[in-house]
């Protein structure tokens, strides 16, 4: 590569999570996109780096700028970077993540896989959830600790799946389970499908297969039809977690486990209050930096209202979910 260029823009964490690969923007060749924190634990201080093969024109710059509306008033220009493999350059600061029994890497930084670890190849810059951020690491550690304690999952869902990593990890821990992954962003579901292929994860609606859905929260016939779940993972943001508390609480089976992440320590109390109202209690917590992963359990009810159906094909009553 003899002519590589980089455009750097400020962005927010929410924008970073929503950023998709550039191949849908009509740019050829597509730039490589990478997001990172500028200031630790500040959701408003993130950065978007776009690496181009050749000097980008005004249309290409405008397409990248559209990914970060908060940067509209920022003046910046593309700059030429030294001769290098631009994909490797964009990922030069990324290290593999070893969390519990999981080892998450990109194609460029695979390194030596630790003995006994389950490797997952998750490329950077496609969707949130590469394992680099503390929220994803905390969820991986929480899931691993659940399996160590002998907890079981027969029907699980990863809400806001991003790259699919947490769904893949849960499927590895409980290989016979029905598994579902959803995201409000259709591009994230495309990324999850691609990553499933890279990591030997079968797609489908049966046990040992991953079913996919594009949905805001749980508003999808597939997600409603497969409920209640005995394991729900939601690594998103504190605001959406609070807003989704009623529907997530209803979708979780009695005695089931909910893993929440994407919130800061100072947001944990507000999130917990929202889920206590739904009959859940805090059962465990792992703090990775300033980012806690919360493990909650749903109380068991008794009597004729008790939910007995669990997963596709289950028998018994299901809750009236109404309009999610």
Residues of each annotated binding site for S-adenosyl-L-methionine: 136, 160, 183, 235
Residue with tokens 């990109």: 106
Q: 234 vs 105, 116, 237, 267, CA distance in Å?
A: 22, 27, 9, 15
The count of residues in the chain is: 324
Would you put residue 125 in left (φ > 0), alpha (ψ -120 to 50) or beta? left
Whole-angstrom distance, CA of residue 10 vs CA of residue 47: 4
User: Measured between alpha carbons, how far is 5 from 86 in angstroms, rounded to an integer?
Assistant: 9
Tokens 């999610």 belong to 324
- Cα separation, 296 vs 308, whole angstroms: 20
DSSP 136-198: HHHHHHHHHHHHHTT---SEEEEET-TTSHHHHHHHHHSTTSEEEEEES-HHHHHHHHHHHHH
What are the tokens at 225?
A: 């039809």
Rounded Cα distance between 306 and 316, Å, is: 9
DSSP-derived 3-state class of residue 80 = strand
Complete DSSP assignment for 13-49: HHHHHH---GGGTT-SSPPEEEEEESSTT-TT-EEEE
**Would the CA dihedral through 149, 297, 152, 160 be positive or negative?**
negative
Residue stretches of the annotated binding site: 136, 160, 183, 235
Is the omega angle on the peptide bond into residue 308 within 30 degrees of 0, that is, cis?
Answer: no
């Amino acid at each position: 590569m003899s002519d590589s260029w980089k455009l750097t823009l400020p962005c927010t964490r929410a924008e970073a999570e929503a950023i998709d690969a550039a191949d849908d923007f009509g740019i050829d060749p597509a730039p490589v996109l990478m997001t990172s924190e500028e200031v630790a634990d500040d959701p408003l201080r993130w950065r978007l780096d776009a690496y181009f093969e050749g000097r980008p024109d005004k249309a290409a710059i405008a397409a990248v700028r559209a990914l970060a509306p908060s940067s509209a008033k920022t003046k910046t220009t593309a700059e030429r970077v030294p001769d290098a493999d631009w994909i490797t350059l964009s990922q030069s600061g990324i290290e593999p993540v070893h969390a519990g029994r999981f080892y998450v890497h990109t194609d460029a930084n695979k390194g030596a896989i630790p003995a006994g670890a389950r490797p997952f190849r998750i490329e950077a810059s496609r969707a949130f959830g590469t394992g680099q951020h503390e929220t994803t690491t905390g969820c991986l550690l929480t899931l691993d600790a659940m399996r160590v304690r002998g907890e079981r999952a027969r029907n699980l869902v990863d809400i806001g799946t991003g790259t699919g990593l947490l769904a893949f990890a849960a499927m590895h821990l409980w290989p016979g389970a029905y598994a579902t992954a959803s995201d409000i962003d259709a591009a994230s579901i495309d990324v999850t499908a691609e990553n499933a292929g890279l990591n030997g994860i079968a797609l489908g609606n049966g046990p040992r297969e991953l079913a996919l859905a594009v949905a805001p929260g749980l508003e999808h016939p597939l997600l409603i039809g497969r409920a209640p779940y005995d394991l729900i993972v939601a690594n998103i943001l504190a605001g959406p977690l609070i807003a989704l508390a009623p529907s997530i609480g209803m979708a979780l089976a009695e005695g089931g486990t909910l893993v929440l992440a994407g919130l800061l320590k100072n947001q944990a109390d507000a999130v917990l209050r929202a889920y206590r109202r739904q009959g859940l209690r805090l059962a465990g917590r792992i703090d990775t930096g300033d980012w806690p992963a919360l493990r909650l359990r749903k109380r068991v009810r008794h009597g004729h209202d008790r939910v007995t159906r669990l997963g596709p094909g289950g028998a018994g009553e299901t809750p009236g979910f109404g309009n999610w």
